[in-house]
């Protein structure tokens, strides 16, 4: 296997996807970008490079060198974490060649010579011959998770369906001819219907799909996640690890550790970690005019065409919604926001917004951390010092831009 360095160049406006993880750890299908590209191109990750303010956090999440050269003098393939696909052109790079996105000039990948690895890990640009790539491939906006979703999930499921699963359990109905892979440690209850007419279905280890649920492929249910009774999981959905989901979900990716445990519709959306969607929370993913959706990536930024007709919401890490919350088409809800109001949530919502019918306030850090620790403790996890520092840093940055940071 080839040695690889994945790097987060910090470019684009990818928050809230990348607030608490590097770009290569964002899940837009069944797998994260680094998992997908590594598996498809047969790579071993030997080091990662990230912006300095993420280094400590990423050290908690990866057991390879961060921002320092890997062991061994061998050449390496450096790959941008914003690249979600295992491009054939990456694999074809010769030593001393790089692939550059033509429209932006951003580096997609480079095959580093042995002598160039150390300088690259210290932040230098690789001294290599650039080959232009004439298609947009690097994620640069939150809604790019929606744009890349189908191809990413299809790529993942092709690899995952090569694994051997258990026999279809008694009482489970399977319709269609695409592969259905159920891990031997997964539980699928009688009365479940799996529809594999339009794509495969993969149910991972220790996942559970409870009675009267319907799962329509292509779809992925991640490790230790639970699909509750009578849920409908529509195509192009990927549920990350340790989630609990119910209601109707279509075309949505869960990063992991999130709950949507009650009725309500969620479509064409991305859901971060430690999100809790109250009973009846529902989003719109299509305008009544059936036209392209315009959205705003971050507070203070301009509204942009997304290129999508179906696009629901991007829901950042630690967002909470009260019962019957309505999320309007193209909403971008940044990290740590809490919604308990009767009017719909729309547009781009700044980080750590506390929104009720009385208005919007800034979420106090001490209160937020208390809730965060409680929520994570329910999964027998505690935030690390690096995680706490990263959250506090994001809160301080948001407070500096807020009118009333109290």
Question: Which CATH number does the domain housing residue 357 bear?
Answer: 2.160.10.10
Nearest to 334 by CA among 395, 285, 287: 395
Q: 26 and 58: one domain?
A: yes
pLDDT at 189 over 60: yes
Distance from C-alpha of 188 to C-alpha of 202, rounded to nearest angstrom: 12
Strands 244-245 and 76-80: unpaired
Per-residue exposure over 28-54, b if at least 16 CB sit within 10 Å of its own CB, e if not: bbbbbbbbbbbebbebebbbbbbbeeb
Q: Which two tokens stand for residue 356?
A: 């009720």
pLDDT for residue 53: 96
Over residues 9-56, the pLDDT tens digits come to 999 999 999 999 999 999 999 999 999 999 999 999 999 999 999 999
Domain end, chosen from 139, 155, 182, is at 139
Question: Is the residue at 289 inside a domain?
Answer: yes
Q: 231 and 379: one domain?
A: yes
Measured at the CA of 16, the angle between CA 297 and CA 327, to 5 degrees, comes to: 70
Question: Is the residue at 392 inside a domain?
Answer: yes
Distance from C-alpha of 17 to C-alpha of 23, rounded to nearest angstrom: 8
Q: 190 and 339: one domain?
A: yes
| Exposure on the CB side of residue 172, measured as CA atoms within 13 A | 21
pLDDT at 124 over 70: yes
At 314, is the pLDDT very low, low, confident or very high (cuts 50, 70, 90)? very high
Question: Is the residue at 406 inside a domain?
Answer: no
The pLDDT of 381-390, averaged and rounded, is 97
Which value, to the nearest 10 degrees, does the dihedral of the CA atoms of residues 202, 211, 241, 393 take? 140
pLDDT at 404 over 60: no
| Exposure on the CB side of residue 296, measured as CA atoms within 13 A | 14
Over residues 214-266, the pLDDT tens digits come to 999 999 999 999 999 999 999 999 999 999 999 999 999 999 999 999 999 99
**What CATH number did the domain enclosing 33 receive?**
3.90.550
- DSSP lists the bridge partners of residue 72 as none
Question: Is the residue at 405 inside a domain?
Answer: no
The pLDDT of 308-335, averaged and rounded, is 98
Distance from C-alpha of 386 to C-alpha of 378, rounded to nearest angstrom: 20
Spatial contact of 67 and 52, defined as CB atoms under 8 Å apart? yes
Per-residue 3-state assignment (H helix, E strand, C coil) for the chain: CEEEEEECCCCCCCCCCCCCCCHHHCECCCCEHHHHHHHHHCEEEEEEECCHHHHHHHHHHCCCCECCCCCCCCCEEEEECCCCCCCHHHHCCCCCEEEEECCCCCEEEEEECHHHHHHHHCCCCCCCEEEEECCCCCCCCCCHHHHHHHHHHHHHHHHHCCCCCCCCCCCCEEECCCCEEECCCCEECCCCEEECCCCCEEECCCCEECCCCEEECCEEECCCCEECCCCEECCCEEECCCCEECCEEECCEECCCCEECCCCEEECCEECCCCEECCCCEECCECCCCCCCEEECCCCCCEEECCCCECCEEECCCCEECCCCEECCCEEECCCCEEECCCCECCEECCCEEEECCEEEECCHHHHHHHHHHHHHCCCCCCCHHHHHHHHHHHHHHHHCCCCCC
Nearest to 33 by CA among 9, 60, 65: 9
Distance from C-alpha of 377 to C-alpha of 274, rounded to nearest angstrom: 11
Domain end, chosen from 89, 105, 139, is at 139
Q: 206 and 92: one domain?
A: no
Question: Is the residue at 156 inside a domain?
Answer: yes
Residue 262 phi/psi, 5° resolution? -140, 175
Q: 85 and 174: one domain?
A: no
Question: Is the residue at 270 inside a domain?
Answer: yes
pLDDT for residue 403: 61
| Domains identified in the chain, total number | 2
Question: Is the residue at 232 inside a domain?
Answer: yes
Q: 62 and 158: one domain?
A: no
Q: 387 and 354: one domain?
A: yes
- Domain containing 361 equals 145-400
Over residues 351-381, the pLDDT tens digits come to 999 999 999 999 999 999 999 999 999 999 9
Q: 135 and 157: one domain?
A: no
Domain end, chosen from 117, 139, 161, is at 139
Strands 201-203 and 180-182: parallel
Question: Is the residue at 69 inside a domain?
Answer: yes
Q: 130 and 175: one domain?
A: no
Residue 257 CB: number of other CB atoms within 10 A? 22
Q: 96 and 183: one domain?
A: no
Spatial contact of 134 and 99, defined as CB atoms under 8 Å apart? no
User: What pTM was estimated for this model as a whole?
Assistant: 0.96
Q: 294 and 265: one domain?
A: yes
Q: 185 and 129: one domain?
A: no
């Amino acid at each position: 296997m080839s040695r690889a360095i994945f790097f987060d160049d910090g470019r684009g406006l990818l928050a809230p996807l990348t607030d608490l993880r590097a770009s290569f750890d964002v899940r837009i299908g069944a797998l994260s970008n680094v998992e997908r590209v590594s598996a498809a191109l047969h790579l071993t990750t030997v080091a990662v490079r990230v912006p300095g303010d993420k280094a400590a956090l990423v050290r908690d999440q990866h057991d390879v060198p961060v921002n320092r050269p890997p062991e061994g003098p061998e050449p390496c393939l450096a790959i941008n974490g914003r690249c979600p696909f295992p491009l054939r052109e990456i694999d074809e790079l010769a030593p001393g060649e790089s692939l550059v996105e033509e429209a932006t000039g951003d580096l997609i990948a480079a095959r580093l010579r042995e002598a160039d690895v150390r300088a690259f890990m210290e932040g230098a640009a690789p001294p290599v011959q650039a080959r232009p790539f004439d298609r947009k491939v690097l994620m640069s906006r939150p809604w790019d998770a929606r744009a890349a979703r189908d191809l990413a999930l299809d790529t993942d499921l092709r690899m995952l369906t090569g694994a051997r699963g258990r026999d279809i359990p008694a009482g489970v109905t399977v319709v269609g001819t695409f592969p259905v892979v159920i891990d031997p440690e997964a539980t699928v209850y009688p009365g479940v219907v799996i529809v594999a007419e339009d794509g495969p279905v993969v149910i991972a280890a220790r996942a559970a799909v409870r009675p009267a649920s319907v799962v329509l492929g292509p779809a992925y249910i991640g490790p230790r996640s639970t699909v509750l009774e009578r849920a409908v999981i529509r195509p192009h959905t990927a549920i990350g690890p340790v989630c609990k989901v119910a209601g109707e979900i279509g075309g949505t990716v869960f990063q992991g550790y999130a709950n949507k445990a009650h009725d309500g519709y969620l479509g064409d959306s991305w859901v971060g970690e430690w999100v809790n969607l109250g009973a009846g929370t529902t989003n719109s993913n299509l305008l009544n005019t059936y036209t392209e959706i315009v959205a705003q990536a971050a507070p203070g930024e301009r509204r942009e065409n997304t290129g999508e007709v179906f696009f629901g919401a991007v829901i950042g890490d630690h967002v909470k919604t009260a019962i019957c919350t309505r999320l309007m088409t193209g909403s971008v809800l940044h990290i740590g926001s809490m919604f308990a109001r009767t009017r719909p949530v729309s547009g781009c919502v700044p980080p750590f917004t506390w929104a009720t019918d009385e208005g919007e306030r800034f979420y106090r850090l001490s209160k937020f951390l208390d809730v965060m620790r409680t929520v994570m403790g329910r999964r027998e996890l505690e935030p690390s010092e690096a995680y706490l520092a990263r959250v506090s840093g994001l809160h301080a940055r948001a407070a500096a831009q807020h009118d009333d940071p109290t």
